[in-house]
């Protein structure tokens, strides 16, 4: 099961006790998959049976109306749809009035007009965002990458969703995907905050644990990469120093060099893998890293000068 599916399952299992929160969450479901039928009735359709059951439960708890739950095959397809229908036109009108929902000219059968009045309280905003994620949200496994996204059913609804997220300190970026406005977060802290906003507390703990492990692995890998890079630089520098020393040995002889340089030349040839600090400890008397580097640099300069003469 994907991380998105696990988050969705936890959110579906969240059942707010307050009627105003249930209404806000119903708004979230209906603006995505609610549609008006020609006879004035209202229908909610989803491929997720758990969401269908939750919508039916919320309607039953909050409204004294007649509801019908139907399982059927999607038209022209093999997949199963789960529908919750309010067959009475008057009761449908009353429900839409309670939820502050309406249709627009762009989607005459869709409930795309959403009133922000029903989302005035913080707890109601949480409920609405919870429904939006259940209907059109995705989230990457934190062990792989940080990405949280919710597709909006319409631009006007997307703007309201963005304002809601911002009210909790989570400022989303926007993009268009398959003709839909998408709100997304790529910052680990903001994604963590959104899980908390939607009250997915179980997955939040797991997310933070996975995130901590990922950050730790990244820190260790960066340190290892830096160490490897430094070792490569040391090895490359040592290789050049040895070539220059061997050139001096074969052309002028190490015995012709000043004693301190000749000793350093012999040490470097004898210990090609040693660091400057390690070479300094072998000197008599011991020499600091900068002193070793100075002498080796003098040897390299002498080799360059000799090559120009030859």
In this predicted structure, what is the pLDDT of residue 103? 67
Q: How confident is the model at residue 166 (pLDDT cuts 50, 70, 90)?
A: very high
Q: Is residue 213 part of a domain?
A: no
Same domain, 253 and 295: yes
pLDDT of residue 307: 87
> How high is the pLDDT of residue 210?
85
Residues 140 and 18 in one domain: yes
Distance CA 38, CA 135 (A): 24
In a domain, 48, yes or no: yes
Q: Are residues 236 and 189 in the same domain?
A: no
Q: How far apart are CA 99 and CA 219, in angstroms?
A: 49
What average pLDDT does the structure give for the chain?
88
User: Whole domain around residue 21: which residue ranges?
Assistant: 3-199
Number of domains into which the chain is organized? 2
pLDDT per residue as tens digits for the range 251-275: 888 888 898 998 899 999 999 888 8
Instruction: Say if 219 falls within a structural domain.
Output: no
Number of neighbours of residue 12 by Cβ within 10 angstroms: 16
At 24 the pLDDT is 93
Whether 39 and 177 share a structural domain: yes
> pLDDT class for 105, splitting at 50, 70, 90?
very low
End position of a domain, from candidates 199, 219, 254: 199
Same domain for 9 and 53, yes or no, is: yes
Residues 59 and 18 occupy one common structural domain: yes
Please check whether residue 41 is in contact with residue 89, taking contact to mean a CB–CB distance below 8 angstroms.
Answer: yes
| CATH code, domain with 181 | 3.10.28.10
Q: Which of 182, 199, 216 is the last residue of a domain?
A: 199
Q: Report the DSSP beta bridge partners of residue 303.
A: none
189 in any annotated domain: yes
Q: Are residues 185 and 93 located together in one domain of the fold?
A: yes
- Kindly report, residue by residue over 22-33, the tens digit of the pLDDT: 999 999 999 999
Instruction: With respect to residue 207, please indicate whether it lies within any of the assigned structural domains.
Output: no
Please answer whether residues 164 and 179 qualify as being in contact, where contact means their C-beta atoms are separated by less than 8 angstroms. no
Give domain status of residue 211, yes or no. no
Nearest to 97 by CA among 73, 81, 118: 118
Boundary of a domain, candidates 199, 217, 251: 199
**Domain contains 220:** no
| Cβ atoms of 282 and 267 closer than 8 Å | yes
Q: Does 195 lie in the same domain as 72? A: yes
pLDDT of 109 over the 70 cut: no
Q: How many CB atoms lie under 10 A from the CB of residue 303? A: 20
Both 131 and 34 in one domain: the answer is yes
Q: Are residues 14 and 102 in the same domain?
A: yes
In 3D space, the residue among 287, 245, 157, 202 whose CA is nearest the CA of residue 13 turns out to be: 202
pLDDT tens for 290-306 read: 999 999 999 999 989 88
**Do 233 and 93 share a domain, yes or no?**
no
């Amino acid at each position: 099961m994907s991380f998105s599916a696990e988050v969705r399952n936890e959110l579906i299992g969240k059942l707010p006790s307050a009627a105003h929160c249930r209404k806000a969450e119903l708004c979230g479901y209906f603006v995505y998959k609610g549609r008006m039928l020609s006879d004035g009735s209202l229908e909610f359709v989803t491929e997720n049976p758990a969401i269908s059951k939750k919508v039916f439960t919320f309607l039953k708890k909050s409204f004294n109306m007649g509801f019908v739950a139907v399982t059927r095959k999607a038209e022209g397809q093999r997949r199963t749809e789960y529908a919750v229908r309010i067959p009475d036109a008057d009761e449908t009108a009353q429900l839409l009035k309670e939820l502050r929902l309406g249709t627009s000219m762009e989607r005459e059968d869709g409930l795309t007009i959403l009133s922000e009045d029903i989302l005035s309280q913080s707890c109601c905003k949480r409920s609405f965002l919870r429904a939006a994620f259940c209907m059109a949200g995705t989230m990457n496994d934190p062990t792989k990458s940080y990405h949280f996204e919710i597709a909006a059913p319409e631009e006007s609804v997307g703007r309201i969703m963005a304002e809601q997220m911002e009210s909790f300190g989570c400022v989303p970026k926007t993009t268009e995907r398959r003709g839909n406005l998408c709100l997304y977060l790529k910052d680990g802290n903001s994604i963590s905050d959104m899980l908390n906003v939607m009250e997915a507390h179980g997955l939040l703990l797991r997310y933070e644990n996975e995130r901590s492990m990922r950050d730790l692995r990244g820190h260790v890998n960066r340190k290892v990469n830096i160490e490897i890079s430094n070792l490569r630089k040391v090895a490359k520098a040592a290789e050049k120093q040895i070539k220059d020393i061997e050139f001096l040995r074969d052309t002028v002889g190490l015995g012709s060099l000043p004693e301190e340089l000749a000793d350093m030349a012999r040490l470097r040839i004898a210990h090609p893998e040693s660091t400057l600090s390690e070479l300094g400890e072998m000197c008599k008397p011991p020499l600091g890293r900068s002193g070793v580097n100075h002498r080796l640099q003098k040897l390299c300069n002498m080799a360059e000068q000799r090559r120009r003469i030859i």
